[in-house]
């Protein structure tokens, strides 16, 4: 996944002076991420854990040359923050903010398509690459090495918490992670699991991928199509949670905003079926994941 992050990454944090962003910035620096600057309008000249704060992204670009941005600002300000980052030339953006109006997200996705910018999120806990000691966002918390150790398994997860659970499961099985990505639990996101498979397909440091899916959306069905069309040829192990939600009243939201079943769309049973038909290995429990990976090798 070196097209997205590697040890040369230089990170900007938009909204760095907020309580959550301050904490995450400290954890990222401790892990080894090069956090070179932050932006909060009106806070220019301050610093957070030694990271200089600027009033605008353009000022941060001139002074510190960041290559990626973590956005942790209020929902109503996120579209402006994304637009400022894209117009300043940032081509990798991770959005931690949740609860963004959908019409704002649609505009963000338009801007990313027009510029070729990669967006992870919204509502993402981030991305981590253990071998390069780089993490963007809250992924893994204060002690990410408890869950994520270097290895050759990619992780794509719609759940932030389950991203770490999958990483821990791999570590306990003697395996490790090349790159782990929390795509976010919203219905509208920048990089879907299917689009990220293309990154892992080209990544020479990834031998297989674990996908954690949930009820709602067609994300996992799109993954199945990619496998069936030979667009992704490495082993993929999928764990689809939430089977019990099929017994809830139609339209019930459970957990993430996108975890809604309507008709046959988004049913975990259907996701498992189409993934298996396409050639993916489908785990029934988290404990099955490591064994399926090892048998795939």
* Active site amino acids: 256
Sheet with 134-136, side-by-side order of all strands? 134-136, 126-129, 177-182, 150-157, 208-213, 236-240, 281-283
CB atoms within 10 A of CB 130: 24
| DSSP-assigned letter for residue 244 | G
Task: Outline where DSSP puts E strands in the chain.
Answer: 11-14, 35-39, 47-48, 51-54, 68-71, 92-95, 118-120, 126-129, 134-136, 150-157, 177-182, 208-213, 236-240, 281-283
Instruction: Give the integer Cα–Cα distance in Å for 109 and 9.
Output: 23
Q: Which residues contact 99 (CB under 8 A, 6 or more apart)?
A: 75, 123
Q: Between β-strands 126-129 and 134-136, what pairing exists: parallel, antiparallel or unpaired?
A: antiparallel
CB atoms within 10 A of CB 192: 19
């Amino acid at each position: 996944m070196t097209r997205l992050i590697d040890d040369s990454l230089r990170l900007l944090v938009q909204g760095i002076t907020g309580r959550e962003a301050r904490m995450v910035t400290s954890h990222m620096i401790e892990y080894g991420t090069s956090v070179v600057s932050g932006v909060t309008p009106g806070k220019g000249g301050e610093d957070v854990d030694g990271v200089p704060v600027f009033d605008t992204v353009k000022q941060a670009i001139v002074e510190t040359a960041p290559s990626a941005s973590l956005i942790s600002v209020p929902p109503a300000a996120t579209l402006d923050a994304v637009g400022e980052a894209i117009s300043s030339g940032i081509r990798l953006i991770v959005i931690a903010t949740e609860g963004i109006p959908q019409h704002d997200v649609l505009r963000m996705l338009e801007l990313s398509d027009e510029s070729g910018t990669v967006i992870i999120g919204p509502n993402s806990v981030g991305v981590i690459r253990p071998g390069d000691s780089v993490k963007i966002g809250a992924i893994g918390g204060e002690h990410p090495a408890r869950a994520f150790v270097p290895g050759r398994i990619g992780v794509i997860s719609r759940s932030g918490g389950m991203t770490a659970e999958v990483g821990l499961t791999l570590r306990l099985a003697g395996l490790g992670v090349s790159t782990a990505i929390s795509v976010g639990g919203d219905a509208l996101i920048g990089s879907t699991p299917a689009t990220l498979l293309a990154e892992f397909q080209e990544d020479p440091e990834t031998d297989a991928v674990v996908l954690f899916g949930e009820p709602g959306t067609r994300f996992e069905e799109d993954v199945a199509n990619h496998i069936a069309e030979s667009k992704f040829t490495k082993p993929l192990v999928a764990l689809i949670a939430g089977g019990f939600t099929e017994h809830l009243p139609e339209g019930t939201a459970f957990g993430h905003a996108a975890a809604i079943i309507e008709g046959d769309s988004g049913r975990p049973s259907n996701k498992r079926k189409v993934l298996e038909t396409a050639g993916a290995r489908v785990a029934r429990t988290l404990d099955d994941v490591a064994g399926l990976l090892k048998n795939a090798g």
